[in-house]
A and B are shown apart, each in its own frame.
Chain A
Amino acid sequence: GAVVSQHPSRVICKSGTSVKIECRSLDFQATTMFWYRQFPKQSLMLMATSNEGSKATYEQGVEKDKFLINHASLTLSTLTVTSAHPEDSSFYICSARFSRRNTGELFFGEGSRLTVL
């Protein structure tokens, strides 16, 4: 089946540094990828929709200069948390939709836990 891979699974960084998280679709092309943020014991909050070859669409309240998204190819989207602060600590999950399949489901990466000290 379709697989989405995220890297790194865990990252700890100092306040003020930038962190990049990669999301890859391993065996399918994904023109659209989605980035979610999940707080402890809560549901997933859609942050942005990443479209290959164009600018990402951000949800209301999400700072696009803070969370930079690049979708340079049909199999890779990246999320960069710039000048990270402790309040950015969270679980970030990406997902992708198989472009040629019309069944609607999203395939999710394993998630990346960011801890900002």
Chain B
Amino acid sequence: AQSVTQLGSHVSVSEGALVLLRCNYSSSVPPYLFWYVQYPNQGLQLLLKYTTGATLVKGINGFEAEFKKSETSFHLTKPSAHMSDAAEYFCAVSEGSQGNLIFGKGTKLSVKP
């Protein structure tokens, strides 16, 4: 069975500081991994995804994530936080391209001026 663990339900950073949101997964097969962002009262927007190939993936809004198989991790980073990055972030895993997405519990990112 697949699962996703997001460490830290709430992360607070200062504007301009590094953003690091942690995600660990478990999967019995090579995983497809995703990061989504959700703004209040809105649906989810895909930030980036890893399927195969290059383990460092770049997404929208300056975010990137690195797939580390040995650590079963897919942490999300951004070098410099903006106020507009404040939102809820969800990590998700699926078994291949047609499997259900299993979501982590989410991490709320706050950005202080």
**Do A and B interact?**
yes
Residue pair A107, B46 in contact (C-beta under 8 Å): yes
In the complex, what residues of B have CB within 8 A of residue A97's CB? 98
* CB of A103 to closest CB in B, whole Å: 6
Establish whether residues A43 and B106, one from each chain, have CB atoms under 8 Å apart when the complex forms. yes
Partner of A43, one of B43, B96, B100, B103: B103
The answer to whether A43 and B49 have CB atoms under 8 Å apart is no
Are A104 and B105 interface neighbours, CB within 8 A? no
Min C-beta distance of A59 to chain B, whole Å: 9
Give bound CA distance, A46 to B93, whole Å: 14
Contact A43 B105 (CB under 8 A): yes
Whole-angstrom CA separation of A43 from B90 in the bound complex: 8
Q: Which of B32, B34, B90, B94 is close to A44, meaning CB atoms less than 8 Å apart? A: B90
Is residue B11 contacting chain A, with contact meaning CB distance below 8 A? no
Bound state CA distance, A95 and B103, in angstroms?
A: 13
Counting chain B residues whose Cβ lies within 8 A of the other chain, the interface size class is: 20 to 34
The answer, yes or no, to whether A105 is at the interface (CB within 8 Å) is yes
The answer to whether B90 and A46 have CB atoms under 8 Å apart is no
Q: How large is the interface on A (under 10, 10 to 19, 20 to 34, 35 or more residues)?
A: 20 to 34
Contact at B46–A105, with CB atoms within 8 Å? yes
Report B30-60 residues with CB < 8 Å from chain A CB.
Answer: 32, 34, 36, 41-46, 49, 51
Q: Does B101 contact A (CB under 8 A)?
A: yes
- If A43-B103, A44-B103, A49-B100 touch, whether A103 touches B49 (CB-CB below 8 Å) is yes
Nearest chain-A residue to B10 (Cβ)?
A41
Within 8 A of B (CB), among A1-57: 4, 6, 34, 41-44, 46, 49
B42 touches A104 (CB 8 A): no
Which residues of chain B are near A42, meaning CB under 8 Å? 105-106
In the complex, whether A110 has a CB less than 8 A from a CB of chain B is yes
6 contacts between A and B (CB under 8 A): A6-B43, A34-B101, A93-B44, A103-B49, A108-B45, A109-B43
